[in-house]
Structures are given as structure tokens and as C-alpha cells.
Amino acid sequence: MIKKLLLILLTLSINAVAQPAIKSMNNQPALIPYPQKMEWKKGQFAIKNYKSIIIENVSLNHEAELLQKQLKEIGLILPIKRESLNEPGIVLKLGKVDAPDTTSEAYKLNITASSITVTGAGKAGLFYGLQTFKQLINNKYIQGCSITDWPAFSWRGYMIDAGRNYQPMDLLKQQINVLAAYKLNIFHFHFTEDIAWRLESKLYPQLTAPEIMIRNKGKFYTQNELKELITYCKDRHITLVPEIDMPGHSAAFKRAMKTDMQSDSGLLIVKNILKEFCETFDVPYLHIGADEVKITNKNFLPEVTALIEKQGKKVIGWEPGGEFTESTIRQLWSENATEVSVNPNVKYIDSRHLYVNHMDPLESVVSIFKGKISNLDEGNNAALGGTLCIWPDRRVSKPEDVFMQTAVYPAMLAFAERSWRGGGEPGWLTYVGLDGAKEVKVFKEFEDRLMKHKKHYFSKMPFPYQAQAHLKWKFYGPFNNDGDLTRKFYPEETKDIDTSKAALTAVGGTFILRHWWGPLVKGLIENPEENTTWYATTKIWSDKNQLINFWIGFNNISRSYGSDSPNEGTWDNRKSQVFVNDKPVAPPLWKQAGAKGNLELPLIDEGYEYREPTKVQLKKGWNTILVKLPVKSFKSKDWQNPEKWMFTVVPWL
């Protein structure tokens, strides 16, 4: 979905309301999301010492069997019992949890030598307690602790567009498994688009005919498959929210039915489809999209909304979008939707600056981690929470490419932290922070946990993220280049740049000097100017002479635009350069150099995160990296090619 989302970005506060940074605990298990109240205690206890799983009644069998399966994965077989036999055990129960809300998602977890007790305010809370329990296990041992935990927002969602690029069932289930592990509770499933209609209809089988589809011809989800996904989600305390986009994004419908949705005959067909859907699928919500379209039939939205609500389901729509009823839950995708939040009768979900397909991988984790959902520390009756969105508008060669070209899982974990813990800081930022700022320490603590999860849980899944909070850059500029992008200035001519005073020093691996949605979204440079050149430099230590992998990039292409590929012999068509020890690093040999952007032309190697890393020779001792960043105009040649004045340089050390 090509949407100019406008952001909300910020910095961590780590309790339900603003709080100090989490204390560094390098020897403790890395928990994501970090609990609201956490007390570490002395002692590590062997899991094998706990002899059984104890439940208070058979209604908790499902949760007990889940724990039994978790323990079996590490070679431990524990029986499920109804009572303790005066021996250490793991107790699962429902009960009161001292949380600020009555949410059933709250839980308590207490670990001592004699017992492990997981208490859920409801079954969802018990399930989330078990997810934390799993993260606490380290080599068949578990750390003593006392946890009281609850979510800041009730709606913690993730959306995937499988209408434009079909995703197989096993890949969808993989995503759902990750959602469950990190306490996200909404799976927003978008499966109808201009490209294809990918849900079976018994009434209108022509909707999923191969000749109607532009991509992945013949690939769709049967009614039984969607029922299977709904059940798969329910078993993991996740609500599947289906989206049938109407009346916009419906070219596939028009090709199949030979009529527009907003025509009289089209509206009748839509109503029949909705009746069939509501009678077939047990879901509480139905998302109708309704954005990016001219409404020509003023009766369309009121009539479909009334029909869906009569079927006992709540309606969700994109905002800005159509003229919705007050009962319609709005999903915000643009800052233009802010007025919705002042109406206490309208419930809403925040997806502003949560479209990861527009973000650089390193930027995405920073932006989302620092974000402040709905500009609030915690949810309320109107502000339900947020949904992270993945919109791969551009064709991909294979389904897995979505997860290599977009930092889906790294962003998901950052969003899990923020949506569960709440907080954040106002301000639209895209980088870790200025050197010495408190937010740098806060982010680094989270990044340390993130990298441990990458190693432990994502070794067999795409996870395009490298640590960046240890990198400190000095920036020099601005230098007036009079429109000459090749013009040299003293930072690339001097041999001793360290003696010069930097304009600023910042931390991170990706820097956006001026955001293409500026000034609403703030880049690194306070007052960026056209026809200027900036330089950035850092030093990297190497214990020996060695060839090191680097991520290097200058124009991270959105996966939602038909952006051009870089020209041959360039990094970004702006004459940007990177030098290591005064030697220029050659740009990649692009496989489709100079190709004009086309949504049907898959990206191959345009992004550093999905091509082979750049090999850079380091010498023993200190190595100097210098990045040259010239710009001529901030005006892009067209909306598909925004002027992304940015760079990424990260060594794999």
C-alpha cells in the first residue's frame, strides 16, 4: 500500500509511564519485551529439579501442554499433575495480578529453588508468563526472579500484505509464532488488492481465477486455510483481523466481476461476499480498507458497515479514508488523521510511521523503539494501541525476500518492546542519538538484548540487523558545493581531520541527514541546505590486518516504490563516496544498473541488507573511515524516487 505515512518517533522510557533506562544486566537473560516490574534474585536453579507441572484444574491443560512442549525441546520430560507431592514443581494458575488495569493479559512469575509459579490474570496472561519463562531458561538453568507484568496497550498488532505478493501457509505461521513469542496479539491479514484477490469465495470462484491475478497466478487461500489460520492464532492468544479492501484497491475484483465495486451491481456482489464471509469465519473484526479511493457511491460505506455490524462484527477502516460511522475503528496511517484522536467516541489504532517497507533496517529499529504510540504512554478506551505494517508493493522473486529486503523481525521485536512497555518520547527522530545523550545508553541496552535474541532465536530466519550503538561519528559541514557534487573540501584532503572541530558527533550506523518527509520527520542536520556537502568520519580498531565484511549503502530503496536502480559505477547517483584509510571503496557491480524503477521488477542487490556484504581491508590498529555526502537539490525527480540523503556504514566486527 503506497502511503506517505508520517511519523511519530522517539525514545525509550521503560515502565508503563516514563521511566529510567533498564539497568545493564549482561549476565542475566535478555528479555523482550522487558517486564514492567522485574526483581532479580540470587541463585540459578536447574530445571530438572522441578519434578512436575501442576495445574489447579483441567481448564489449564492447554497451557500446561504448551509448557511441557517447551521443556521437551531442551530434553526435559515433566508430567502434568493436579496437585503437588511435596517436591519442587512448576505451578500454573489463574489469579489476581497487581496490575494497573484489569486486563486478562497481566501475569506474575516467581522463581525460587522450591517452586516456579506462573499466575495469569486470565489465560492470555498465563500464556504470556510462559513466553517470559521460556526466555529465562539458559542452558537448562533458570535465574531466580520475581516479575509482575502487563501490557501498556491492548492492541499490539502486525500486518502483512499477502495480496500483492502471496505468502505460503508455513511462512504465515512462522510470523504468527514470532508474534506469540513476543506478546503481540493481533495478526492483520491483508489478502485482497489490485494485483490479486487471494481468498476463496464459493459464491464467486472467478475472483481467484489465475487469469485475474497479475502476480503469483493461481495462488490464494482456501476458506479452510483461513479457518486454519484463525484457529492457529486463537491457540496463541492472537486475534486474526482480516482485511477485504473496498472500494479502493479492488482492480482484481473489477477484472473478475466485470463491474466496479461502487456500481449498483458491484455493491450487491460485495454484500453477498460479505455475508458469505461473516457466516463462514469466526472473527470479531473485519477491516474494509476504504482509503486511497474516490467515493462515487455515497451509500457504499454506510451500507457495507451496517451489513457487517448486523453480522456481529466490528468494522475497521483506514484513516484518512472514507466517511466512516463513529462505530468504525480507525487505523491511522497519516498525521492528517490526528483529529480522530480528539473524538472520545472513536476508537483508533496507530500505524503512523510504522510502515517498515519504507525504512532502512537500522533506522526501523531505532525509529520504532523510540516511537510513542498514539503520542501516549499507555492506551485508553479510545487509543487501543498500534499495528506494525509490512507493505511490499514491489514484486519479489520469492516470498522469503520480503524478510530480507525489509527488517520485519528486528522491527517486530522493537515494536513488541514499545507496545508492551509503553512510553517513548515525543519528537520525530531517525538515528540513535547525539554523543553523550541519555537516549544512546537507553537504546544500546535494548540493542544488546536484541542482538542476543538474533543469535539465540533467529539463527535460521532472516534478521537483517547489525549492532550500531557502538559507532560514534564526527560530522563536518556544511560546505557549499555550488551544485558540483564532485567538488572536494578539506575533510577529504587533510591527513589529520581529528584536529578539526566537528559540527556534531552522533551515534549509529545509519544516518539520514535530511528526511525525504522533512521537516515533519527530522533528520540529523538541524537546518539542511541544498548544494552542500557534508562529511562523516569514524575510527575502527582492528587487532590484525584482515578483510572485514561491511554493510555500506547510501540510498535505501523503499519496497513500496518503483524506484530506479543506481547507475553503474556509483553508490547512489549523488556522487557519494566512502574511504577507508584514504582509499575509496568501490561501489557494487549492480546487476541491474541504471534500471528505471518498475513495481514489477524485483529488487536484486540494490539494498546492502540483501546483497553480499562489501569486503574492506583493515590494517592492524586504528582505521579511519570517511564518508562524503554531497547533495544538489532536495526536490526528487518524481514521487517514486525521493531524495534520500543518507548513508549506512557498519562493520561486522
Model confidence pLDDT, tens digit, residues 561-584: 999 999 999 999 999 999 999 999
pLDDT value at residue 18? 33
Grid coordinates standing for 258? Answer: 466485470
What is the per-residue pLDDT across 448-503, written as a single tens digit (0 to 9) for each?
Answer: 999 999 999 999 999 999 999 999 999 999 999 999 999 999 999 988 888 889 99
- Rounded to the nearest integer, the mean pLDDT of the chain is 93
Cβ-based neighbours of 490, under 8 Å, separated by 6 or more: 497, 500
Give the Cα separation of 563 and 425 in Å (integer): 32
**Angle at Cα 186 formed by Cα 183 and Cα 189, nearest 5°?**
135
pLDDT value at residue 26? 55
Residues 215-242, mean pLDDT to the nearest whole number: 98
Grid coordinates standing for 403? Answer: 524478510
Give the DSSP letter of residue 376: S
Of the candidate ranges 81-95, 284-298, 410-424, the one whose mean pLDDT is the lowest: 81-95
- Residue 434: beta bridge partners? 506
pLDDT value at residue 85? 74
**Residue 334 — very low, low, confident or very high, per pLDDT cuts 50/70/90?**
confident
Most confident of 428-442, 492-506, 589-603: 589-603
Give the Cα separation of 124 and 128 in Å (integer): 6
Q: Is 592 exposed, middle or buried (0-12, 13-18, 19+ CB in 10 A)?
A: middle
Type of residue found at 1 = M
User: To the nearest whole percent, how much of the chain has pLDDT over 70?
Assistant: 95
324 HSE (CA, 13 A, CB side)? 28
**Residue 336 — very low, low, confident or very high, per pLDDT cuts 50/70/90?**
low
Grid coordinates standing for 58? Answer: 483441567
| Residue 1 clears pLDDT 70, i.e. is over it | no
Handedness of CA 406, 412, 415, 417 (dihedral sign): negative
Residues 270-284, mean pLDDT to the nearest whole number: 99
| Residue 48 clears pLDDT 80, i.e. is over it | yes
Tell which residue, 252, 260, 170, has the closest CA to residue 208.
Answer: 252
pLDDT value at residue 613? 98
Distance of CA 225 to the CA centre of its chain: 25
- Considering only CA atoms, give the Rg of the chain: 26
pLDDT value at residue 557? 96
Place of cell 561519528: 473
Residues 227-240, mean pLDDT to the nearest whole number: 98
What is the per-residue pLDDT across 598-632, written as a single tens digit (0 to 9) for each?
Answer: 999 999 999 999 999 999 999 999 999 999 999 99
What is the per-residue pLDDT across 542-551, written as a single tens digit (0 to 9) for each?
Answer: 999 999 999 9
Q: What is the largest CA-CA distance in the chain?
A: 82
Place of cell 495478526: 187
Place of cell 575509496: 584
The helix, strand and coil proportions of the chain, stated in percent and rounded to the nearest 5, come to: 25, 25, 50
343 HSE (CA, 13 A, CB side)? 14
Cis peptide before 426 (omega within 30 of 0): no
Give the Cα separation of 38 and 32 in Å (integer): 12
Q: Is 189 exposed, middle or buried (0-12, 13-18, 19+ CB in 10 A)?
A: buried
Of the candidate ranges 337-341, 378-382, 558-562, 601-605, the one whose mean pLDDT is the lowest: 337-341
- Contact (Cβ atoms closer than 8 angstroms) between residue 258 and residue 297: no
pLDDT value at residue 22? 56
Give the DSSP letter of residue 459: T
| Residue 14 clears pLDDT 70, i.e. is over it | no
Residues 8-32, mean pLDDT to the nearest whole number: 50
> Going from the N-terminus, what domains does the chain have, and what CATH number goes with each?
37-149 (3.30.379.10), 155-364+381-401 (3.20.20.80), 471-651 (2.60.120)
Give the DSSP letter of residue 492: G
* More confidently predicted of 555 and 425: 555
Type of residue found at 54 = I
DSSP count for the chain of H helices, then E strands: 11, 27
Tell which residue, 503, 476, 481, has the closest CA to residue 491.
Answer: 476
Tell which residue, 450, 424, 534, has the closest CA to residue 489.
Answer: 534
Q: Rounded to whole angstroms, what are the CA distances from 232 to 177, 179, 399?
A: 9, 12, 21
pLDDT value at residue 191? 98
**Residue 9 — very low, low, confident or very high, per pLDDT cuts 50/70/90?**
very low
**Residue 337 — very low, low, confident or very high, per pLDDT cuts 50/70/90?**
low
Residues 263-276, mean pLDDT to the nearest whole number: 98
The DSSP bridge pattern shows strands 329-332 and 383-390 to be unpaired
What is the per-residue pLDDT across 58-70, written as a single tens digit (0 to 9) for each?
Answer: 999 999 999 999 9
**Residues tagged active-site:** 292
